[in-house]
Amino acid sequence: MRILFALLTLFCLFNTAGLAQTLNQNSGWLFLMNTTKINEKWGTHLDVQFRSADEWDYLRNFMFRPGVTYYLNNKNEVTLGYLLNETFNQNDGAADNKIKEHRIWQQYIHKHKIGKASVSHRFRTEQRFIERNQDDLFAQRFRYFIRAIVPLKKGQAQFDQGAFLALQNEAFIHLHNEDAAKVFDQNRAYIAAGYRFGKQLDLEAGYLNQTSAGASRYTMNHAIQLALYTRF
């Protein structure tokens, strides 16, 4: 319970960022993720995301992120990948209602246990190529992500099946972005309830709080997320 209390405290602390001069929005996110281990050292990564606009009005974002993973050992892995992000707009008079972004990304993940909780730390860098109507933009970003899965059933030496709580937080900072006035980009805090059907499948639903920095104010997005994790 100590890890659960600590992560809930962290969630509340990050959630207070940007409360002043904040625009509030509500949306829905669908997150699909697969990891496939080809052999002892190599594997693949794929996540696909669908995100709605404010008030679930229309499909705002589609994201497709494949990658290749090299397993250093059971606790450490590195991945190199590509991302396609399509952002759809419904502004009247817009010359083009779709903005495309291509990314190259690299990440390192470290996994460990704290009590019965499984904890993972992810360090990711991104090189972003953003296509815009007037001029294209190149930017770079760093992301730190921490996630804990806490099984609810007692007495399990290894968590292979049953209900769990998932808590995570991810902080984004700009390494290079000519359009960004602040180093801080955004923060995402998330809490969910889920069920592990077996070693290959997790399903969870939860609340994600996304606080993003703009030029003059913050935007706080309250998102309901449904996530499906598969492992082969």
pLDDT score recorded for residue 14: 52
CA 191 to chain centroid: 12
> 81-115 as b/e, with b when 16 or more CB fall inside 10 Å?
bebebebeeeeeeeeeeeeebebebebebeeeeee
Number of CB atoms found within 10 A of residue 15's CB: 15
> Is residue 200 over pLDDT 70?
yes
pLDDT bracket for residue 155 (50, 70, 90): confident
pLDDT (tens digit per residue) in 89-123: 876 555 568 899 999 999 999 999 999 999 999 99
DSSP state of 177: -
User: How large is the average pLDDT for residues 65-71?
Assistant: 98
Containing H/E element for 4?
helix 2-15
User: How large is the average pLDDT for residues 178-194?
Assistant: 94
pTM of the model as a whole? 0.90
| C-alpha separations of 88 from 60, 100, 115 in Å | 5, 9, 43
- The residues facing 148 across adjacent strands are 119, 167
* Domains in the chain: ranges and CATH: 2-231 (2.40.160)
* More confident call, 4 vs 145: 145
pLDDT bracket for residue 82 (50, 70, 90): very high
pLDDT bracket for residue 18 (50, 70, 90): very low
**Cα within 13 Å of Cα(162), Cβ side:** 14
> Among 55-69, 87-101, 137-151, which stretch is predicted with the lowest mean pLDDT?
87-101
pLDDT score recorded for residue 214: 83
55: phi > 0 → left, psi -120 to 50 → alpha, else beta; which?
left
